[in-house]
Chain A
C-alpha cells in the first residue's frame, strides 16, 4: 500500500471536493424540475386512474354523466334555435317599422323640397329637412336622420356621424333608378363615444340628396340578451334537474342491484342463510325471488353434501371402532400364542408366526385406510410446529434403521451444515420420509440409499435416492396411485400396504408442498419432498433438483413427474445439470 493509493482512495471516498461534486450539484439542481414534473405526472395519472376506475365501477355515475351530456347538447341546440327565432322575429318587425318610418320621412322630405320656401337654397332645405324629420323622431331617439349629397359640392346633414351609413349601402342607393326606392342594411351607429348596432334604411331623396334613417337596435339587443339569459338559465336548471332525475331513477334501479350484488357476495363468502328482501312484483322483485330460490337450493344442496360427508366421516369412525375392537382381541390372542410358539408343533408354530406377521400387516392396512379416508373426507388436520429438517431426516432414517440393517443397506445422509427449519406437522412429515426411505431400501437392490436435505429462503426439500431398478416412463405418476405396485411379479419383501405413497402425497399437499418422483430404468429413482418454510406460503420452487445431478451431467433424460402445483417439466435433466454443476442447490421450477 503506497501513499498514492491512499490519496486516490481518499478522493474517491469524498466526492464533495473535486469537479465530481460540482457535477453532482448541477445534477441535483437540474433534477428538481424533472422531479416536480414526474410527481405531477404521477399525480395526474393517479387521478385519471381513480376517475377511470370510478367510471367503470359505478353504473349510476355513468348514467348521470350521460344524461347530463345529452341533455346539455339538446338544450344547447334548442336554445340556439329559440334565440335565432326570436332574433329573426324581432328584426323582421323592426325592419317593417323602419321601412314605414322611412317612407313617411321621404314623403315629408319631398314635400318640404317642393313646397318649401323657395328663397332658401338646396343646402338650407336639406338642413331644414333634417331638423324637421329628426323632430318627428322625438326625444326617445327612435331613429337618427342623415342626409347626404349625391353629388359633390354640397353638404350633408346628420344627427349622428355620417360614417354610420356604410359605404356599401350608399353604393346601392346612389345608382338606384327611381327616387324613393328603399335599401336596408345593418350597421353600427357611431356618435362621438356612442356605439350601437343599428338598422339603416336609405333612398334617393332627389337627384342631389339621399335620405338615410338609422334605427338603433338597443331595445332589440336588450330583448335578445334577456331571452338568451333566460334560455341559458332555464337550460342550466333543466339540465341539473335532469341529472337529479337521472340520479334518482338510477338509484331506484341501482340500489336493488347493489343490494343483490352484496347478497350474492355474502352468499359466495359462505353465508348460506343470506336472502334478498322482496318488495312488490316488479322485475327487481323477480330478481330477488329467483336469487332467493337459488340461494335456497344451494343451501339445501350444501347441507345435503355436508350431511353426506358427516355420514361418511361417522362411517369411517365407526368402521374404525368396529374393526379395531375385534382386531385387538385377535391381536392379543395371537400374541399369547406367539409367546408360546416354541412349545407348539413346528407346523403350528409356523402358522402362529404367519398369523402374527399378517396381523401386523392387517393393522397397518387398516391404519392406512383410515388415514386416507380421513384425507378424502377433508378431515385431516395439521398440527404445525417449527422443526429442523435435519432432525426430521435423522429421526426418519433412525426409524428405518432396522429395515435397512436387515436388508444390509446403508442409508447415507447429506445434510446442510446450518439449521434448516420449517413449519410443518412433524408426525406427518416423519411418516412421509420414513415411507420414502423404506420404499427406497426396498427397491435399491442392495445398493446404498442417499437422503439429501437442503433449504433456501422460502423452501426446504428432502430427496431420497436409490440406485435400484428405477421407474419406467409414466410410472413416476403411477407410483402415487393407491395400491400401485412397481412390479406385480416381484415378491413382496417388506410388504407395505400400497397406500404409503398415496398418503404421503396427500400429506405433502396438505402442507402446500410437493411430492415428486424421478426415475430411469436401471438407474434408480429419486423422490423429492419440497415444503414451504412458513405455513400457508405458496411454494414456487424447490432447493433441490428433482433429477439427480450425476444423471443430468451425463445429459441423459430421465422421467420426472410433478405432483401438486409444480410447473410441468420442472427439473428437466438438462437445466438441472447446469444448475447442479454450479454448486449450491437452487430453484429449478
Chain B
C-alpha cells in the first residue's frame, strides 16, 4: 500500500461493474482513493473495513436495497453519503434523503458534476478556527465538531453539523432554502429544495426537545429557516 497523501477515501457501492470501474477511473483521476463493493449485503462489511471518508451509493442494488444500506451506514456513522439514482421521481429521492443520504445525483451525470458533489462533501477537512456558538441551550464547538445540550453531547452527521453552524453563525438572519443549498450543499444554481427540508427535519429530530414545536431551528413561513432564540 503506497502511503501517498490522498484527498479522501471513497467507497463506491454499485452493482454495475462497468459504471463502478468508470467511477473509479474518474475519482482516481481527481486524486481520490476509491474502493468498491458490488453487493448490498457486503456493503457494511466493506464500509467497516475501508473506513471511507465518503460513500457513493447506488439506490438500486441486488441483495440489500440501497435505502437499507444507507440506513445501516447512518446508524453507525455520520460519514457523508451521496446517492446515485436513475429515478428522478419524487418518492425515491425523498426516501433516500430521509434514510440519511446527504445529497443525491441523478444518472446520467457528467464526471465534473460528480466530482463537484464529492468535493463539497469532503471540503470540511480544512481546519476551522476555534469558535464556540450558542443557540438557546445548544452549545456548538465548531473546531471540535461537537454539539452539546447542558453538557450532554449530541451526535450529528457532518452535514447536519454544517447546517446547524450555518444557521447559528448569523442568529437573527433568515436563510432561504436556496441560500442554505449554496452554503451547505455547494449548489450555485437553484436545486432541489427538498434537500433542505428533509435535513432540517433530521436535524430537528436530534436537537429539538420537541421536534413538533421546534425552538432551535425555526421555520419562517414563506421564507426559510433561522436559528431560534429560545
Interface on A for B, CB 8 Å cutoff? 317, 320-321, 324-329, 331-333, 335-336, 363, 381
Distance of A151 Cα from B60 Cα, bound (Å): 137
A328 touches B108 (CB 8 A): yes
A363 touches B108 (CB 8 A): yes
A317-B87, A321-B86 are contacts. A336–B25 as well, Cβ < 8 Å?
yes
CA distance A413 to B16 in the complex (A): 47
**Interface residue? B220 (CB, 8 A):** no
Contact check, B26 vs A336: say whether CB atoms are below 8 A apart.
Answer: yes
CA–CA, A336 and B21, complex, Å: 13
Across the interface, do A325 and B107 meet the contact criterion of CB distance under 8 Å?
A: yes
Which residue in chain B gives the minimum CB-CB distance to A323? B86
Classify the interface of chain B: helix, strand, loop or mixed.
helix
Contact (Cβ within 8 A) A336 B111 = yes
Output the least CB separation between A404 and chain B (Å).
Answer: 20
Contact between chains at B18 and A326 (CB < 8 Å): yes
Q: A317: which B residues are within 8 A, CB to CB?
A: 87, 89
Q: How many angstroms from the CA of A381 to the CA of B114 in the assembled complex?
A: 28
- The A contact surface, by secondary structure, is helix
A-B contact pairs, 28 of them (CB 8 A): A317-B87, A320-B87, A321-B86, A321-B87, A324-B86, A324-B107, A324-B108, A325-B16, A325-B19, A325-B86, A326-B16, A327-B107, A328-B22, A328-B107, A328-B109, A329-B16, A329-B19, A331-B108, A331-B109, A331-B110, A332-B22, A332-B25, A332-B111, A332-B114, A335-B111, A335-B112, A336-B111, A363-B108
Interface residue ranges of B10-54 to A (CB < 8 Å):
16, 18-19, 22-23, 25-26, 29
CB nearest to B15 among chain A residues = A325
Query: What is the CA–CA distance of A236 and B109 in the complex, to the nearest angstrom?
Result: 91
- Which of A320, A329, A363 is B18 in contact with, Cβ under 8 Å? A329
For the complex, what is the distance from the CA of A335 to the CA of B23, rounded to whole Å? Answer: 12
Residue of A nearest to B89 (CB): A317
Residues of A within 8 A of B86 (CB): 320-321, 324-325
Q: How far is the CA of A333 from the CA of B87 in the complex (A)?
A: 21
Task: Find chain B residues with CB under 8 A from A363 CB.
Answer: 108
Contacts of A336 in B (CB 8 A): 25-26, 29, 111
| A333: chain B residues within 8 A (beta carbon) | 22
Select from chain A the residue with minimum beta-carbon distance to B16. A325
Across the A-B interface, the 6 shortest Cβ-Cβ residue pairs? A321-B86, A324-B86, A324-B107, A328-B108, A328-B107, A329-B19
Task: Give the docked Cα–Cα distance between A137 and B84 (Å).
Answer: 128
**B29 proximity list for chain A (CB < 8 A):** 336
A381 to B19 Cα, complex, angstroms: 31
Chain A proximity mask over B42-75: 1 for CB below 8 Å, otherwise 0: 0000000000000000001000000000000000
Q: How many A-B residue pairs have CB under 8 A?
A: 48
- Tell me which residues across on chain A come within 8 A of B111, comparing CB atoms: 332, 335-336
**What is the bound-complex CA distance between A327 and B106, given in angstroms?**
12
List of B residues within 8 angstroms of A324 by Cβ:
86, 107-108
Residues of the A chain whose Cβ atoms lie less than 8 Å from the Cβ of B19: 325-326, 328-329
In the complex, how many angstroms separate the beta carbon of B47 from the nearest chain A beta carbon?
A: 22
List residues of B (165-207) whose CB comes within 8 Å of A's CBs: none
B108 / chain A contacts, CB cutoff of 8 Å: 324, 327-328, 331, 363
Choose among B18, B60, B86 the residue with the greatest number of A CB atoms under 10 Å from its CB: B86
Residue of A321, A332, A335 with highest tally of chain B CB at under 10 A: A332
A321–B60 touching, CB < 8 Å: yes
Contacting A at CB under 8 A, from B107-127, are 107-112, 114
Give the chain B neighbours of A320 by CB distance below 8 A. 86-87
Residues of B within 8 A of A325 (CB): 16, 19, 86, 107
Interface string of B73-97 (1 = CB under 8 A from A): 0000000000000110110000000
Closest chain B residue to A367, Cβ basis: B88
Docked CA distance A333–B25 (Å): 9
For residue B23, which residue of chain A has the nearest CB? A332
Bound Cα distance A327, B109 (Å): 9
What 0/1 readout, one digit per residue, does chain B (107-150) give for beta carbons within 8 Å of chain A? 11111101000000000000000000000000000000000000
Give Cα A381–Cα B89 distance, bound, in whole angstroms.
10
B30 to chain A, nearest CB (A): 11
Chain B residue at smallest Cβ distance from A381: B90
Give CA–CA (A326, B86) in the complex, Å: 11
Report the minimal beta-carbon distance from A282 to chain B, rounded to whole angstroms: 51
Given contacts A326-B19, A335-B111, 12 further A-B contacts (CB under 8 A): A317-B89, A321-B60, A324-B107, A324-B108, A328-B22, A328-B109, A329-B16, A329-B22, A332-B110, A332-B114, A335-B112, A336-B111
Determine how close the nearest CB of chain B comes to the CB of A251; give it in whole angstroms: 52
Is A335 touching B110 in the complex (CB atoms < 8 A)?
A: yes
- Name A333's closest neighbour in chain B (CB-CB): B22
Distance of B99 from chain A, by nearest CB (Å):
18
Question: In the bound complex, how far is the Cα of B60 from the Cα of A11, in angstroms?
Answer: 85
- Shortest beta-carbon distance, B214 to chain A, in Å? 24
A335 and B86 CA atoms in complex are apart in Å by: 19
Q: Which residue on chain A has the smallest CB distance to residue B106?
A: A324
Q: How far is the CA of A333 from the CA of B26 in the complex (A)?
A: 9
A336→B22 CA distance, assembly (Å): 10
Chain B residues within 8 Å of A328, by CB: 19, 22, 107-109
- Asked if residues B87 and A332 are in contact (CB atoms below 8 Å), the reply is no
Q: How far is the CB of B38 from chain A (nearest CB, A)?
A: 13
**Complex formed: what's the CA distance from A117 to B107 in Å?**
149
Chain A residues in 8 Å Cβ range of B25: 332, 336
Point out the residues of chain A lying under 8 angstroms from B22, CB to CB: 328-329, 332-333
State the Cβ distance, B19 to closest chain A Cβ, in Å.
5
In the docked arrangement, what's the CA distance between A332 and B25, Å? Answer: 10
Chain A residues contacting B110 (CB-CB under 8 Å) are 331-332, 335
Chain A: which residue is nearest B114 at the CB level?
A: A332
Chain B residue nearest to A383 in the complex (CB)? B90
